[in-house]
Amino acid sequence: MDRRNFLKLLGISSGTALISSCGVDKANEKIIPYVIPPEEDIFVGNPAYFTTTCTECPANCGMQVTANEKVYHDVRNIFPTKLEGIAGHPVNDGALCMRGQASLFRLYHPDRIKRPMMRDGDGNFRVTTWKEAYAKIIVELAAATGEGKRNMYFSGRTTGTMSGLTDDFCKEMSVERLPEFEVFSHANLKKANDIVFNRPEIPHYRIENADFLLTVGADVVETFMNPVASANHIQKAKDKNNLSWYHIEPAVSLTGVQASKRFAIKLHSEVYLLAFLLQSLSQQNSLKKSLPARISRLIPDYSITVIAERTGLSEENLRLLLSRFANAKTPLIIAGGVSTAQENGLETAVFAALLQWATGMTDNTVDFDHAENYGSVGSMLDVRKLEDSLKNKQVGVLFISRTDPVTYLPEAEQFVELMKNTRLRVALSDFMTSTVQECDIVLPLSHSLEAWGDAAPRKGIRNVIQPAIEPQYDTRSEGDILLQIMAQKSGAASAQFYNDYLIDKWHSLYGEGETVGMLERGYREEPVPSLPAILSGDGTEAFLKNAGFVVESSDKPVLVITPSIRAYDGRSKVLPLMSEIPDPLTTITYGEWISVSDKTAKKMGWKDRDEVAVELNGVSLKFPVKVQHLLPENIYMVQRDLIYPQATPVDSRSGEESWYVKDISVNATGNHIPMPIMSGSMHEDNRGLLPPEEEEHPYEHKEEHPVGRMYAPHEHDNYRWGMAIDMDSCIGCSACVAACYVENNLAITGKKAHLNGREMSWIRLEPWVKDDETINYDLMLCQQCDDAPCEPVCPVYATYHSKEGLNTQVYNRCVGTRYCSNNCPYKVRRFNWFDFRLPEPWDKMYNPEVSVRTRGIMEKCTFCIQRIRHAKDKAKDENRLVQDGEITTACAQTCPTNAITFGNLMDKNSRVSKLAHSNRAYRALEELGTEPAVHYLPKKESKEEA
Amino acid sequence: MKRRVAPVVITAYFLLFALFVLLMGYFWNENQKTPVQPINFSHQIHVSKVGLQCTFCHTTVEKSRFAGIPSVQKCMSCHKSVKTESPEIQKLTKYWNEKKPVPWRRVYSFTIQNYVYFTHKRHIKAGLECSNCHGEVKVMPHIERVRKLEMGWCISCHRAKNAPTDCWTCHK
Amino acid sequence: MKSIEYNEQLERDVLAALSKPSPWYWVALVVCALLFVTGLSLWLYQILKGMGVSGLNNPVGWGTYITDFVFWVGIAHSGTLISAILFLFRAKFRNAFNRSAEAMTVFAVMTAGLFPLIHLGRTWFFYWLFPYPNQRGLWVNFKSPLVWDVFAVSTYFTISLIFWYTGLVPDIAIVRRYATGFRKKIYSIFSLGWTGSLRQWWHYNRLYVFLAAFATPLVISVHSVVSWDFAMSIIPGWHTTIFAPYFVAGAIFSGTGMVITLVVPMRKIFRLEKLITINHFEKIAQTLLFTSLIVTYSYIVEFGLAFYGHHQFEAAHFTYRLLGDYQVLYWIMLFGNSLLPLTLFVRKLRRSIVYLFIVSIFVNIGMWLERFVIIVTSLAKDFDPYAWGLYKPSVVEIGITLGSFGMFFMFFLIFVKVLPVLSVTEIKEEAAHE
């Protein structure tokens, strides 16, 4: 049943609102009517907005879909063209990460499985009908139970109503539901909280309430838990209680670079640091709660010198940390990521929990009542269990849903072999993953933008999932599939639809009115019972008694396999946009690389793009080198999605898999691999892109020569659009870049083009290494200069200065001399070298408001002028001027930390003018006298820290 | 021998020119003023005889860029009963039964429409009559284009009515 | 006062060049024609595929094509210089060269004129660069140096063509006298019924002087405008006030080089030793040396400005030009343009035709590289280090460049067979004065 009738049944119509975007039909000479017009009042210029949930990663951000009316292949229909966070949503509050922005590429992906398939006699997949597939499953299930075998349901993280339905299904069909499989299971965290507080959960960290944040390895702004929320809350904390945020990590991460202070720590030695902090703090009794003696005496106690030696932190830094904790009112410690996924991981997590408890832990900071919904997520131990029962041929039918163990497990081949020991393997998936290849029946899943559902990212929040487009292929939602199988078994004439099932559930849970409210809002916050976390002496003591602390003695090279901000655990790699956008730390787009410490590189004489062979676990893998500043010597980094899963030690207590591959050897092969590193140089040399340093002010001569001008300065009557970018808030997550791609129909140009320096991004993040100690970013987009060098040189007026201060580009007037780009000191103009455009069916996502540029045309950022135009149109109807905050650009809209402020510089009270005139503000390459409309607020040098 | 070369060359040249002209004619014919519509729909009947308002079918003209083209359902709402015997209406019914849209031919299309932002709403709100640009539709048995939609033409009117003439008023 | 016999002899010598071409001529012509056609087809390919087939990228938006453009315009100039300016100064030695120099000008401008079109992303809209009344009511942007180019180059072409043709008229008349049959018809049409009457000569001289006077300032203005394509921008390495004189000198320098490159073989092939003497070559060599010194001076000034002005970006750029990715090209350029010509201070070398020929080749290469280095290095590394990138000409660009040479030499070869390569009348005149 389609959403229209469903909504009728609910008696509501989806909320239309805010910004819109639309367009007349493409230049086809036909004019296509609807056969049946949609129920909602959607017409050109008035798109529909649906509230739903992002399912690109387990964070489940609330998402608002913009669905536009347009004609595609001679059919007038509505298509989702843009995704944005739901403003005020408890998880992501309006923001969305780059993966979320890009998930339209999954919806329209050509490689999606388009119809159910079944393996035939000679082992090939052939298209089948749902009924047939179900029948086979039912038969096999019965047969398996007959044989006394166990059927198993193995899925990715499942929350909300779907979880309940799965249980019903399993009961009904006598199937065992296995713990869910997630690569980032955070098993050590859960275990540690179990040990220390008897709460085997991952609490909801309320960073916004902290005044001191210590992140131990947890890449909170990249992949840890909910990066969007964390980033957002860190900003809130900065504003509210002037948060200072320290990060400790053995390698280097974007998160570390963004923290106000970053300490590189020796491998495995986090636990010593934490122990030291506990002991020293209690000795100078600045602990809020003192640990019971039986615990504290089990905590190793070393002198500061020893610790300094073990951890590699200087003594003054250790003292600094101590004083921070001593003075902090509401400190917050988040251990995770590289620091908990290692031999000492569990200990680290436990000590972090203890330190948190001792330095003051309230529901304001560490909130177990709203714990992240990881309860039913298993660990490697559960995978081992599954493998055992497969080994012993105990499994009849194996359902594998929304997860891809064959890709993620080191022992892939073995697992494939074991899978063969089952009667029947049923895959529920949207893509032909390596796991699906090994199954007998493939049931294609609809994208969450084509299906109904709900999700519970953490306790107390229920997110709605509702479709914005009808299924494009013969796919179904997991809910429908399970219900239909059950129905077919019980011989019912027709199955209940999952959305009916949902409503019944929702009605019974929240009542009708609330259900409607929830659908309009897109989420519902529900009260949860509050029970405080109490320190469990026994558990902790028992653990500490036989806890062993690995000491990293050898300085052999170690490979750290890190998560990827672009691909998460690898699942988002199918989104082409994620390869098109540079990795924020290295600015590499396509292909694989190994990050090598600059010190090591210097020693070995390696440069970017030199190929090295990495010997690990008996195999030799080749990678091109990327020199990475701030990375400690002998540490190498490869992102998880760029290397096959490596066999690493698994903690027998928690089932957490270590991310370190030890005793590797790295040798240059002498080859050079072309690699698209977007950054021409990481050294800014005080050129005026970053704020000038006090001592040598590059603009010192500025007063000496006043700017003479041949032409009168530009007049602006009502508007001059401008932007303020706070690089202190910016965390380099690149969500803005993704948003720009989708909003403005930017083309995906591919690896070859990138190697030739032909990327199309209108906005980019530029990392700058400062004296090998810090990496600062600037966000470069068209500066909309008032005295723009690009304008006078265009022979045909294709680019010109609009009355509102924009350097607009009239695409169909451009003849392509490229003079404007040559003359642009910011190099933010992009030339369309070939007919760069999205291939079908991805072009369904094109924003009809924005022209798709063709071959030989120069294109550029115009502050999302389509949004400006629409706002002005609206204002004109109401016969007023555009208000401050009424328009926001795509990049600003999706920024988790609201680092970007867009508005009217002519309006002295607009937020942007206030920021632009703050004494922190500076402009890029100001010396050139281009009078940019973009004002930067520099990263605050944490001087008081040192 | 020499004497023959010249005339051959000359005739060849003229043949080429003729071919060129024919091609031009063909392409001109492509966006002709009165394209052949899949159904012989008469605005004259619907406006003059039946007396429908423009907005009855072109519903969004006052609130959208796009005037709106009636859905097949809308046509059928009358033609389920009206004039069902006429062959043209039977064509329509056929589309309806196949749940296919009627592939109407565009009459007013910008040459590089992709780069043009035109909004009916704004022009209606500015008090223009449909006929100012579309001519006396009510007397057209076959709808035909009465304006060339050239940039110069738009500008001249914008200047006369001192409407904005900034490029990005109409370009996108 | 030389005798009639002398004139007869002279005419025969000159017109000998127009006699039946040798097989080698045909080979040369076919090779050039093939190059030309290849160039054209590559251009077509580029139009169909997009500018991406070139090596250009962000940030390097201009490369080989613009280099070729400036190079050919430069070549054109010395033609005008030799024929017009030296004419005004009544420099005798010019007579040996002026005809081929003028021809060179015309063909070079034709070639140069193509490149601005070739480098357009949407060549099919090239006519938007011309100010013509249109229904859109749109005009060109007169602030843009590219528009100035349009005027400069078109004016230059027209004037050079007329100047060249005017000079030809009396000679064509002579050829007409010797030609027979079909060719005679053609020549008589183009000799515009020249009879050599006193009145005609009177008009002719008035016009010729006038045109010479008109063409001379164009040498300066046209190449200044071309140089402003760069000087008007803000890119370090482009944005400098010395560019106009610097480029003009460079143009004359490269042009003179090309004259030698052309005339040496021509002299050999058509046995014009009697008429183009070693003294003529020495004079040309001196011009070459002189302009080389000016160019070298400009190189020094450039660096002076950059480092004396201790402007961060300029300094960084010129360091890069000298020691960066393209340093090899820069050093070759310095050798060809500044060092090698210095040897011409030695009289012996100045008078060695072979040596002059070699030098001229190096000058041609050096001057091409000069433009390439200026254009590419400036763009490759400008203000924002993130956006830095390198450029390497693609096969298509190289092909089109070779094609342009093919075109130029093809026209030149045709010219030497259909028109007198030396100005008979002027040589007569010169002789008469002796």
Q: Which of A116-130, A254-268, A541-555, A579-593 has the lowest mean pLDDT?
A: A541-555
CB atoms within 10 A of CB A54: 28
Q: What does the pLDDT read at residue A35?
A: 76
pLDDT band at B3 (very low <50, low <70, confident <90, very high): low
Residues C39, C407 contacting (CB under 8 angstroms): yes
Q: What does the pLDDT read at residue A706?
A: 64
Q: Decide if pLDDT at A512 tops 80.
A: yes
| Most confident listed range (A290-299, A472-481, A700-709) | A472-481
Q: Is B19 on the interface with C (CB under 8 A)?
A: no
- E strands, A617-733, are 619-628, 635-639, 660-661, 665-672, 721-726
| CA A376 centroid distance within chain | 22
Which tens digit of pLDDT belongs to each residue from A612-629?
Answer: 999 998 899 999 999 999
Q: Does domain C4-18+56-130+137-392+419-433 have CATH number 3.40.47.10?
A: no
| Same domain, yes or no: B108 and B28 | no
How much is the average pLDDT of A694-712?
59
| Closest CA–CA distance from residue A869 to any residue of chain C (Å) | 23
* Strand ordering across the sheet containing A331-335: A261-264, A244-249, A212-216, A331-335
| Of residues A678, A681, A817, nearest to C146 (C-beta) | A817
pLDDT band at C428 (very low <50, low <70, confident <90, very high): confident
Task: Give A 819-838 residues with CB within 8 A of chain C.
Answer: 819, 821-823, 825-827, 829-835
Q: Decide if pLDDT at A7 tops 70.
A: no
What is the DSSP code (8-state) at residue A427?
Answer: E
Q: Is A815 within 8 Å of C138 when comparing Cβ atoms? A: no
Q: Is A758 within 8 Å of C52 when comparing Cβ atoms? A: yes
| Of residues A680, A819, A831, nearest to C387 (C-beta) | A680
* Residue A803 CA: distances (Å) to CA of A208, A719, A820, B126: 41, 8, 19, 22
How much is the average pLDDT of C131-158?
91
Q: What does the pLDDT read at residue C82?
A: 75
**C-alpha closest to that of A408 among A185, A202, A566:** A185
**C-alpha closest to that of A144 among A395, A386, A447, A320:** A395
Tell me the backbone φ, ψ of residue B102, rounded to 5 degrees.
-80, 120
Q: Is B125 on the interface with A (CB under 8 A)?
A: yes
* Residue A482 CA: distances (Å) to CA of A167, A400, A932: 10, 13, 58
CA–CA dist C171, A104 (Å, integer): 75
- Three-state DSSP at A34 gives coil
Higher pLDDT: A29 or A491? It is A491
Residues A146, A175 contacting (CB under 8 angstroms): no
Task: Give C 190-209 residues with CB within 8 A of chain B.
Answer: none
Q: What does the pLDDT read at residue A9?
A: 42
Kindly list the domain boundaries of chain C, sorted by start residue: 4-18+56-130+137-392+419-433
What is the DSSP code (8-state) at residue C339?
Answer: I
Please name the residue of chain A whose CA is at the shortest distance from the CA of residue C376: A822
Q: Is C58 on the interface with B (CB under 8 A)?
A: no
Q: Decide if pLDDT at B112 tops 50.
A: no
| Same domain, yes or no: B111 and B138 | yes
| Closest CA–CA distance from residue C137 to any residue of chain B (Å) | 6
Residues near A909 by Cβ (< 8 Å), separated by ≥ 6?
Answer: A884
Alpha carbons within 13 A on the beta-carbon side of A209: 12
Q: What does the pLDDT read at residue A707?
A: 67
* Residue C412 CA: distances (Å) to CA of A360, C407, C416: 91, 9, 6
Strands A48-53 and A62-72: antiparallel
| Same domain, yes or no: B129 and B164 | yes
Q: Is B38 on the interface with A (CB under 8 A)?
A: no
Question: Which helix (H) or strand (E) is C62 found in, with range?
Answer: none
CB atoms within 10 A of CB A249: 26
- Three-state DSSP at A665 gives strand
**C-alpha closest to that of A829 among C329, B163, C379, C201:** C379
Q: Where are the alpha helices (DSSP H) in chain B?
A: 2-30, 43-44, 54-57, 72-79, 87-97, 120-125, 130-134, 151-160, 167-170
pLDDT band at A636 (very low <50, low <70, confident <90, very high): very high
pLDDT band at A40 (very low <50, low <70, confident <90, very high): low
Task: Give A 63-82 residues with CB within 8 A of chain B.
Answer: 74-76
CA–CA dist A451, A466 (Å, integer): 6
Q: What does the pLDDT read at residue A24?
A: 32
Residues of chain A contacting B163 with CB distance shorter than 8 Å: none
Q: What does the pLDDT read at residue B110?
A: 60
| Closest CA–CA distance from residue B152 to any residue of chain A (Å) | 14
Kindly state the tokens that stand for A341.
């996924």
Amino acid letter for position A222: E
Tell me the backbone φ, ψ of residue A935, rounded to 5 degrees.
-110, 135
How much is the average pLDDT of A687-714?
67
Give the mean pLDDT of chain A: 90
Please name the residue of chain A whose CA is at the shortest distance from the CA of residue C143: A792
Pairs of CB atoms within 8 A across B/C: 14
Q: Is A850 on the interface with B (CB under 8 A)?
A: yes
| Of residues C126, C232, C385, nearest to A815 (C-beta) | C126
Residues A440, A423 contacting (CB under 8 angstroms): no
CA–CA dist A574, C88 (Å, integer): 73
Q: Is C50 within 8 Å of A835 when comparing Cβ atoms? A: yes
Q: Which of A734-738, C25-29, C325-329 has the lowest mean pLDDT?
A: C25-29
Q: What is the pTM of this model?
A: 0.92
CA–CA dist C292, C284 (Å, integer): 12
Q: Is B93 on the interface with A (CB under 8 A)?
A: no
| Closest CA–CA distance from residue A885 to any residue of chain B (Å) | 22
Question: Which helix (H) or strand (E) is B60 found in, with range?
Answer: none
| Same domain, yes or no: B137 and B157 | yes
Residues C256, C94 contacting (CB under 8 angstroms): no
Residues of chain B contacting A41 with CB distance shorter than 8 Å: none
| Of residues B66, B101, B171, nearest to A24 (C-beta) | B66
Which tens digit of pLDDT belongs to each residue from A452-473?
Answer: 999 999 999 999 999 999 899 9
Query: Which residue has 């714990």 as its token pair?
Result: A371
Residues of chain C contacting A762 with CB distance shorter than 8 Å: none
**C-alpha closest to that of A552 among A271, A147, A256:** A271
| Same domain, yes or no: B6 and B60 | no
Q: Is A831 within 8 Å of C387 when comparing Cβ atoms? A: no
| Closest CA–CA distance from residue C233 to any residue of chain A (Å) | 6
Q: Please tell me the total count of domains within chain B.
A: 2
Q: Is B150 within 8 Å of C135 when comparing Cβ atoms? A: yes
pLDDT band at A556 (very low <50, low <70, confident <90, very high): confident
Q: Is A877 within 8 Å of B99 when comparing Cβ atoms? A: no
Which tens digit of pLDDT belongs to each residue from C187-213?
Answer: 888 888 888 889 998 998 899 888 888
First to last CA, chain C: 7
Which tens digit of pLDDT belongs to each residue from A407-443?
Answer: 999 999 999 999 999 999 999 999 999 999 999 999 9
Alpha carbons within 13 A on the beta-carbon side of A424: 24
Task: Give A 277-316 residues with CB within 8 A of chain C.
Answer: none
Residues C351, C281 contacting (CB under 8 angstroms): yes
CB atoms within 10 A of CB A214: 30
CA–CA dist C227, C377 (Å, integer): 16
Q: What does the pLDDT read at residue C93?
A: 65
Q: Is C137 within 8 Å of B2 when comparing Cβ atoms? A: no
Task: Give A 6-25 residues with CB within 8 A of chain B.
Answer: 22-25
Q: Is B119 within 8 Å of A45 when comparing Cβ atoms? A: yes
**C-alpha closest to that of A584 among C386, C58, C385, C389:** C386
| Closest CA–CA distance from residue B77 to any residue of chain C (Å) | 44
- Three-state DSSP at A661 gives strand
In chain A, the domains with their CATH numbers are: 117-160+377-452+471-511 (3.40.50.740), 187-372 (3.40.228.10), 558-672 (2.40.40.20), 721-945 (3.30.70.20)
Percent of chain A surpassing pLDDT 90: 79
Residues A24, A44 contacting (CB under 8 angstroms): yes
CA–CA dist A80, A846 (Å, integer): 9
| Closest CA–CA distance from residue B119 to any residue of chain C (Å) | 20
**C-alpha closest to that of A247 among A265, A259, A231:** A259
Find out whether the peptide bond into C59 is cis, omega within 30 degrees of 0. Answer: yes
- Three-state DSSP at A180 gives strand
Give the CA-trace dihedral at C42, C44, C47, C50, to 10 degrees: -30
How is B108-144 classified by DSSP, letter by letter?
A: S--TTGGGB---HHHHHHTT--HHHHH--GGG-SS--
Q: Is A818 on the interface with C (CB under 8 A)?
A: yes
Q: Decide if pLDDT at B74 tops 80.
A: yes
Any bridge partners for residue A78, and if so which? A69
Q: Is B150 within 8 Å of C137 when comparing Cβ atoms? A: no
Instruction: List the domain range (segments joined by +) for residue B2.
Output: 1-32
**C-alpha closest to that of A46 among A78, A68, A64:** A68
Instruction: Output A921-924 pairs: Cβ under 8 A, ≥24 positions apart.
Output: A921/A724, A922/A691, A922/A692, A923/A783, A924/A688, A924/A689, A924/A778, A924/A780, A924/A783, A924/A826
Q: Is C389 on the interface with A (CB under 8 A)?
A: yes
Q: What does the pLDDT read at residue C219?
A: 82
Tell me the backbone φ, ψ of residue A388, rounded to 5 degrees.
-60, -50
Residues A601, A627 contacting (CB under 8 angstroms): yes
Question: Which helix (H) or strand (E) is A264 found in, with range?
Answer: strand A261-264
Residues A468, A80 contacting (CB under 8 angstroms): yes
Any bridge partners for residue A595, and if so which? A626, A637
* Residue C66 CA: distances (Å) to CA of A781, A791, C227: 28, 20, 11
Task: Give A 853-892 residues with CB within 8 A of chain C.
Answer: 855-858
Residues B47, B137 contacting (CB under 8 angstroms): yes
**C-alpha closest to that of C161 among C111, C100, C103, C99:** C103
- E strands, A692-733, are 721-726
Find out whether the peptide bond into A841 is cis, omega within 30 degrees of 0. Answer: yes
Residues in chain C: 434
Q: Is A818 within 8 Å of C121 when comparing Cβ atoms? A: yes
Structural domain contains residue B2: yes
Residue of B1, B2, B149, B151 to mutate, testing the C interface (most C Cβ within 10 Å of its Cβ): B151
Structural domain contains residue B74: no
Q: Decide if pLDDT at A16 tops 80.
A: no
Q: What does the pLDDT read at residue A39?
A: 66
CA–CA dist C294, C300 (Å, integer): 10
Please name the residue of chain C whose CA is at the shortest distance from the CA of residue A684: C385
CA–CA dist A347, A300 (Å, integer): 12
